[in-house]
Amino acid sequence: MPQVALIQLLQIAWLLSGLFVHLLVCYGGKLKIRKFYYVLAHDMHQRNKGMDVRPRMQWPTKKLSEEIEGWLRASGLTKSPHVRGVIAPHAGYSYSGRAAAYAFGNIDPTNITRVFLLGPSHHHYTPKCALSTATVYKTPIGDLPIDLEVIEELKASGKLELMDIIVDEAEHSMEMHLPYLAKVFEGHQVKVVPILVGALKAESEAMYGQFLAKYVDDPQNFFSVSSDFCHWGSRFKYMHYDKKHGAIHKSIEALDRMGMDIIETGNPDAFKQYLSEFNNTICGRHPISVFLHMLRNCPINIKINFLRYEQSSQCKTTRDSSVSYASAAAKVVIISPNDSDTAEMQSSSYIDILRPPPQTQHPPL
Ligand SMILES: *[C@@H]1O[C@H](CO)[C@@H](O)[C@H](O)[C@H]1NC(C)=O
Ligand SMILES: *[C@@H]1O[C@H](CO)[C@@H](O)[C@H](O)[C@H]1NC(C)=O
Ligand SMILES: *[C@@H]1O[C@H](CO)[C@@H](O)[C@H](O)[C@H]1NC(C)=O
């Protein structure tokens, strides 16, 4: 009998230790990834409660600031006043922070006073676009006040809904752009217009693109479009593999680059076609599509150029998984044939660097 009791005790201990490890992994993953720089706060809510507005999670500001500065420096990019928008990833900074510098490093903050954020919704279903009801986004680097006038203007159109503050707080797609924007616009007065882009049908993407196009030709406006690229592996239920490219990660890269090339053409219909053919798990496909429609409908000629492509790790077997990160700048095309910017744009091409996996943990969605 005592032997049976001992075995049961050991079994229970085993189960409990398993549970403990499970909790550690989940909790650890969550802290590190989704709430890596958890930075959202909203004035009204806090004011009503008579509380100070402060980030939920304390993060060493100096470290974050230095990290971002280092990545921006390492990108070696020259700021251009002609860059009106970026497409940038939104994973934890240990995964995509470096790649993101190739988007945000293009921004010349001098004349920009407003940044529209277009981010996909990860946790909340809506077939529409939704506006933030917060008044300020706080980051460890600095506050980004929300442009309440433009929010009112957009709200008045009746085309957008309002997102619940809980949805706003839970969504990391725009959140992960904030510390970078706060850094790039440090010392400049800038406001943000956060727009959560739901699971839009093609006609809604076109409608929102036409509607928002009027904001594009104002050089004071800037657009920060949030997306990761392929989420590959059984955990993402996406394992498209075309053997003609060689290793799995090469196939993923070929698939992503096909999408990036299409985005660079600026044709939202071709992008739609690509998505329906290959089902690439580009989480920001709706914000990207809206942005393509905006560019198509605005009077100035703006061209998207991808400057960086990375993968969180190199998939070699079907047990592996990875997330891809691609950074792009959307730049006004200068007509003069002698303009250095145009020459620069025409000659720029991808920088082909795949980095080794930064961590063994899985990147977030
Ligand atoms: C900012 O705007 C002013 C006035 O329009 C212009 O003269 C200047 O060149 C602009 N600076 C940059 C960096 O775009
Ligand atoms: C994408 O999805 C469609 C429809 O579900 C399917 O017919 C097609 O084979 C898929 N393509 C790939 C490459 O998985
Ligand atoms: C452009 O460059 C060419 C040759 O370098 C020169 O002959 C021409 O005058 C330039 N045009 C303008 C508008 O500056």
The atom of ligand 1 lying closest to the CA of 111 is 1
Beta carbons within 10 angstroms of residue 55's beta carbon: 15
Pocket of ligand 1 (CB under 6 A): 81, 108, 110-111
Distance (angstroms) between ligand 2 centre and the Cα of 280 equals 9
**pTM score > 0.95 for this model?**
no
Give the C-alpha separation, 322 to 14, whole Å: 31
User: Which residue's CA is the nearest one to ligand 3's atom 6?
Assistant: 338
User: Which residue's CA is the nearest one to ligand 2's atom 7?
Assistant: 277
User: Which residue's CA is the nearest one to ligand 2's atom 6?
Assistant: 277
Distance (angstroms) between ligand 1 centre and the Cα of 1 equals 86
pLDDT, tens digit (0-9, with 9 covering 90-100), for 326-347: 999 999 998 766 555 544 444 3
**According to the model, what pLDDT value does residue 349 have?**
36
* Residue ranges of the chain with per-residue pLDDT less than 70: 1-4, 7, 10-59, 336-365
The helix or strand, by DSSP H or E, that contains position 275, with its residue range, turns out to be: helix 268-278
Tell me if 338 CB under 6 Å of ligand 3. Answer: yes
- What DSSP character marks residue 362? P
User: Which residue's CA is the nearest one to ligand 1's atom 7?
Assistant: 111
The helix or strand, by DSSP H or E, that contains position 255, with its residue range, turns out to be: helix 248-265
Which ligand ends up closest to the CA of 339?
3
**According to the model, what pLDDT value does residue 362 have?**
52
What is the residue extent of each domain of the chain? 43-347
Quick one: which of 43, 72, 40, 78 has its CA closest to 56? 40
Query: What residue ranges in 27-147 does DSSP mark as E strands?
Result: 83-88, 114-120, 129-131, 136-138, 143-145
Structural class in CATH, domain 43-347: alpha beta
